[in-house]
Structure formats: C-alpha cells, structure tokens
C-alpha cells in the first residue's frame, strides 16, 4: 500500500517482497498496489481493491496472497473471508518467518525461529485454524507453522507453554554462549563483526578473510546462525571476525525479539564492518536501514567502517565516483579478492586506535607469555637481555592491565638494572 511517509518507495519494497517470495519458492503471478492515506482497519485495503484481487486470484488460480506490511490477525482473517476458497493470506512477517524456518541449521537458530513463529501465531490462533486445516491438503508457504504439534492441539494455552519452554531453552544456550564470548573477551582479542543488509556479501567476506566455509548463496537470509573465526592479520595480530544474520527493512519485531541474543552479540564487537552491496541501486537505503537497526540494538557507539562489496560488478567510472563520494569507506570484491589487503590494513589501523604503546620485560620462565604477546599484540620492537625478553608493544587497555606486573618505564631502565 502506497501511503505518505513510507521509508522505501512502494515499487522497491514490492520488488524486495518478490525476492523474498522467490527465496521461499513461490512464483509471483500478479502484483497489486493501492494508494491510501492510511490502512482500512477491517481489511487493510479498500473493498474495491479486495474484489479486484479476488477476481485475479480466481483467474490465475493463485494459492497465496502476500501483503507487504504486517496485517493484524483480524485483517488477515477478514481478507481470507473476502478472497474466499482456499486462499491463504499472509504478510511480509509470515513470509520472512517461513524463510527463517527453512534456513535455520543450528539448534539455537531453530529454537529462535520457533519462538518467533509461536509469538506470531499466538494472537492469530483463531484465524490460523482454517489455514492449518487447509494445509493438510495444500502444503507450501506457511506450512511450517506449529511444527511438531498436531493441528487439533494448537490452542493458546499450548502455544504459551511452548513459548515459555523455548525461552527457557534459549536462556541456557545463551548463558553457554556468553561464557565462550567472555573467554574471548577476557583474552583481549580484538573483535570485528560483519553487519549489513541481507545478501550484501558478509559470508563471502568472512570466507575470503579466513579459512571458513560459511554457506553463501544468492538468496535472502542465507545465514541465520553466527559464525566466528579467528584470523591473523599481516602484522601478526590475531582478531576474531563474526558473520551473523542479515538485516532487512521492516524486520519483524517477533524476529528481533527472538533473535535478540544473537543480534545483541553485535554490541560486544570492537569494530563493525558494515558490508554494503555496491552494485545494488538501493545501496544507500539499505545502509540507512542497517544504521537504524544498529541504533535500535544500542550498538551505534561502536566504531564502524563502511565496506562497499561487489566492486567487480561496477564499471571503472562508477567505482571512481563511489570512492570520491565516500572517502572514508573501503572498497572490495570478496569474490575476486580486490581490496582485501587494504581492508585488513584498515582493520589493523582501527584496532591500533584503542591501543597504547608500552614496554614489558618477560622473564625466561614465562616463555608462553611471549607467544601470547605475539599472537594478541603488535610487537614494535623486541630484544633479549639477561632478564628475559624486552618487548615494546601496542596493546589494548585490557592487555595492558594483564601485563602490568611486567611493564617497565622504558628499555634503558632494564638495561641499566
Ligand atoms: N560479483 C560478486 N558477487 C558477490 C560478491 N560477494 C558476494 N557475492 C555474491 O552475493 C551473494 C550473497 O553473498 P553472501 O555472502 O551469501 O551474502 P550475505 O551478506 O552473507 O547474505 P545473507 O547471509 O543472506 O544475509 C552470493 O551469490 C555471492 O556469491 C562479490 O564481491 N562480487
Ligand atoms: Mg550470509
């Protein structure tokens, strides 16, 4: 529905909805728009438009009508009534939930999707009854709702019970993940998170920078579960790089709530790489959406670098213009390797901003500490004397505290001693 104040032009939003439908293996046979000042409370669209859709649905023998914005439970069932027959009416949220259900691989991912589905389902149970009964014969989009429960058992009480049990299970997994991420945090390793619009090339970038083999596909929401890899930059510094679920405009609130712990991991990063598909005509709108979601997650104070990916698809003059416009950004092609060295250099530069320079003297008895310093800090100068290894290093505050007892004012002090 086209109405004043929409963040995205309606045609663009509908094109994206088509891609979402395509990812969920549905063929789009017709597209309708309506210009209204605000939605009609009972049926979202006007009655004339609803009859027009009903007629087209019959002529084209369509199975599903997808609305680009979230419908209230009553709008959904009223529309089904008007459109008649076996037509299923779903909204963008249900479609995205269905894609997530297809793509969830890990236990945590599956539980998060089930939680989001059940939260979406709860106020819609009455309307869903007719869907579910019809599902027995039709299958397809939306049929993954209420997984594992017989249709007759689906009532509010059971769904509420399921929601609390999913929340409990997720809490346990979250605690476990927090212990792992705390271990990394206390090890003082610089953490970089890849964030960005879905399909921008985050996973491809992670694969290009590490030996990861994260699933990459030209479809929306290929990645749901976060992957972290430890990589060594040229100067010997170790960092972790995390790839996570992509963002989209109108990201359903039930999904944000269910994926909160995964999304909030972003807040623990030292640096955000905002990966943008430079070849997408809507790159800037996508970047704005990403920034809005980062704001909502409370991660806006984390230093960030915008990384324009897929530069191999740009013509030379397009790339030059983009570079001129965004001099602070990085320009890469994760597919061809273009710009990757510069990106690594930039990460190292950002990491060194949080660091200070100091000198330590590590006694010979603490040989393993010298190895740790090489792994986690940037060693500017290193020499050995009779006391041990004297190294001038760049390290973050955390590491500086951990090495406090070995810190010396300057190298001459050691030599004089
Ligand atoms: N030409 C070109 N294609 C790329 C590049 N980087 C990624 N792609 C393609 O873009 C598509 C999406 O890449 P992914 O790495 O899966 O993107 P993502 O950001 O992880 O996407 P989601 O996990 O779905 O949010 C795939 O078909 C990739 O092969 C690039 O630098 N150049
Ligand atoms: Mg991905």
For domain 188-351, give the CATH superfamily. Answer: P-loop containing nucleotide triphosphate hydrolases (3.40.50.300)
Domains 10-158 and 355-416 share a fold: no
**Rounded distance from Cα 224 to ligand 2 centre (Å):** 7
Nearest C-alpha neighbor of 285 from the set 2, 3, 1, 16: 16
Ligand 1 atom with minimal separation from the 332 CA: 31
Q: Which of 16, 194, 200, 204 to mutate to test the pocket of ligand 1 (most atoms within 8 A of CB)?
A: 204
Task: State which ligand 1 atom lies nearest to the alpha carbon of 311.
Answer: 31
Ligand 1 mutation pick, 203, 286, 311, max ligand atoms within 8 A of CB: 203
CA distances from 356 to 111, 248, 353, 380 (A): 42, 38, 8, 12
Please give the number of the atom of ligand 1 that sits closest to the Cα of 216: 16
Closest CA to 311 of 291, 326, 301: 326
Ligand 1 atom at shortest distance from the alpha carbon of 222? 24
Residue 1: predicted pLDDT: 67
- Predicted pLDDT at 133: 44
CATH number of this structure's domain 10-158 = 3.40.50.11060
User: Which residues keep their CB under 5 angstroms from ion ligand 2?
Assistant: 203, 222-223
Minimum-distance ligand to the CA of 205?
1
Phi (first) and psi of residue 176, to 5 degrees: -65, -45
* Residues 333 and 309 sit within 8 Å (Cβ to Cβ): yes
Sign of CA dihedral 339, 340, 343, 348: negative
> What is the model's pLDDT at position 67?
95
14 Cα to the center of ligand 1, angstroms:
21
C-beta of residue 220 within 8 angstroms of C-beta of residue 197: no
CA–centroid distance, residue 288 to ligand 1 (Å): 19
* Nearest Cα residue to atom 2 of ligand 1: 310
Ligand 1 center to 211 CA (angstroms): 16
Taking only the tens place, the pLDDT of each residue in 39-81 is 899 999 999 999 999 999 999 999 999 999 889 988 988 998 8
Q: Report the nearest-CA residue for atom 17 of ligand 1.
A: 201
Nearest CA to ligand 1 atom 21: 199
- The answer regarding whether domain 355-416 maps to CATH 3.30.70 reads yes
Q: What is the CA radius of gyration of the chain?
A: 26
CA-nearest residue for atom 14, ligand 1, is: 201
216 C-alpha to center of ligand 2: Å? 6
Closest ligand relative to 201 C-alpha = 1
Proximal ligand: closest to the CA of 247 = 1
Distance 187 CA to ligand 2 centre (A): 27
Q: How far is the CA of 119 from the centre of ligand 1 (A)?
A: 31
Nearest atom of ligand 1 to the alpha carbon of 200: 19
pLDDT at site 178: 74
Q: Whose CA is nearest to atom 13 of ligand 1?
A: 201
Looking at residue 97, what is its pLDDT?
A: 92
CA atoms within 13 A on the CB side of 8: 23
Question: What's the pTM value of the predicted model, to 2 decimals?
Answer: 0.83
Which one of the ligands is nearest to 199 CA? Answer: 1
Q: For residue 278, give the ligand nearest its CA.
A: 1
Residue of 303, 304, 309 whose CA lies nearest to 339 = 309
Contacts of 54 (CB under 8 A, 6+ apart): 82, 83, 84
- Ligand 1 pocket, Cβ-based, cut-off 6 angstroms: 196, 198-204, 216-218, 220-223, 246, 309-310, 312-313, 333-335
CA distance 58 to 48: 16
pLDDT at 410: 60
Which stretches in the chain have pLDDT values below 50? 130-138, 146-149, 152, 412, 414-417
- Ligand 1 nearest atom to the CA of residue 219, by list position: 24
**CB contact at 8 A, 414 and 387:** yes
Q: Which atom of ligand 1 is nearest to the CA of 313?
A: 1
Let me know: does 104 contact 113? Beta carbons within 8 Å.
Answer: yes
Contact at 8 Å (CB) between 250 and 238? no
Among 167, 174, 196, 165, smallest CA distance to 261 is for 174
Ligand 1, residue 204: give the atom nearest the CA.
15
pLDDT at 127: 54
Give me the residue spans of the domains in the chain.
10-158, 188-351, 355-416
Instruction: Give the number of other CB atoms < 10 A from CB of residue 372.
Output: 17
- Choose among 284, 219, 312: nearest CA to 23: 219
Q: How far apart are alpha carbons 380 and 391 in whole angstroms?
A: 7
Instruction: Tell me how far apart the alpha carbons of residues 30 and 278 are, in angstroms, rounded to a whole number.
Output: 30
């Amino acid at each position: 529905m086209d109405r004043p104040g929409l963040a995205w032009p309606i045609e663009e939003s509908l094109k994206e909805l088509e891609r979402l439908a395509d990812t969920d293996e549905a063929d789009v046979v017709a597209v309708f728009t309506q210009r209204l000042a605000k939605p009609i409370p009972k049926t979202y669209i006007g009655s004339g438009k609803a009859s027009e859709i009903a007629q087209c649905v019959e002529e084209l023998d369509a199975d599903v009508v997808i609305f680009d914005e979230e419908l209230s439970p009553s709008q959904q069932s009223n529309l089904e009534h008007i459109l008649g027959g076996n037509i299923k009416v779903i909204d963008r949220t249900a479609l995205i939930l269905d894609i997530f259900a297809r793509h969830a691989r890990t236990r945590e991912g599956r539980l998060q999707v089930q939680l989001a589905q059940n939260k979406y389902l709860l106020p819609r149970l009455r309307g869903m009854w007719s869907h579910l009964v019809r599902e027995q014969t039709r299958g397809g989009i939306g049929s993954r709702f209420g997984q594992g429960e017989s249709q007759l058992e689906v009532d509010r009480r059971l769904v509420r019970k399921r929601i609390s049990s999913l929340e409990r299970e997720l809490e346990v997994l979250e605690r476990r993940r927090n212990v792992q991420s705390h271990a990394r945090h206390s090890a003082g390793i610089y953490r970089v998170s890849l964030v960005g619009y879905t399909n921008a090339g985050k996973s491809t970038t992670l694969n290009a920078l590490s030996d990861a083999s994260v699933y990459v596909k030209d479809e929306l929401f290929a990645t749901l579960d976060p992957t972290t890899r430890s990589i060594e930059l040229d100067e010997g510094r170790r960092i972790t790089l995390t790839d996570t679920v992509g963002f989209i405009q109108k990201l359903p609130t039930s999904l944000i709530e269910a994926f909160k712990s995964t999304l909030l991991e972003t807040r623990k990063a030292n640096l955000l790489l905002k990966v943008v598909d430079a070849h997408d005509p809507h790159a800037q709108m996508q970047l704005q959406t990403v920034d809005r979601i980062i704001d909502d997650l409370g991660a806006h104070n984390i230093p960030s670098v915008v990384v324009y990916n897929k530069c191999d698809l740009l013509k030379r003059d397009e790339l030059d213009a983009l570079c001129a416009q965004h001099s602070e950004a990085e320009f890469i092609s994760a597919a061809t390797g273009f710009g990757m060295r510069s990106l690594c250099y930039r990460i190292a530069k950002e990491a060194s901003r949080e660091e200070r320079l100091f000198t330590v003297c590590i006694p010979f008895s603490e040989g393993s500490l010298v190895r740790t310093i090489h792994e986690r800090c940037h060693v500017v100068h290193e020499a050995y004397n009779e006391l041990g290894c004297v190294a001038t290093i760049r390290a973050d505050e955390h590491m500086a505290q951990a090495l406090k007892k070995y810190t010396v004012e300057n190298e001459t002090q050691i030599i004089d001693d």
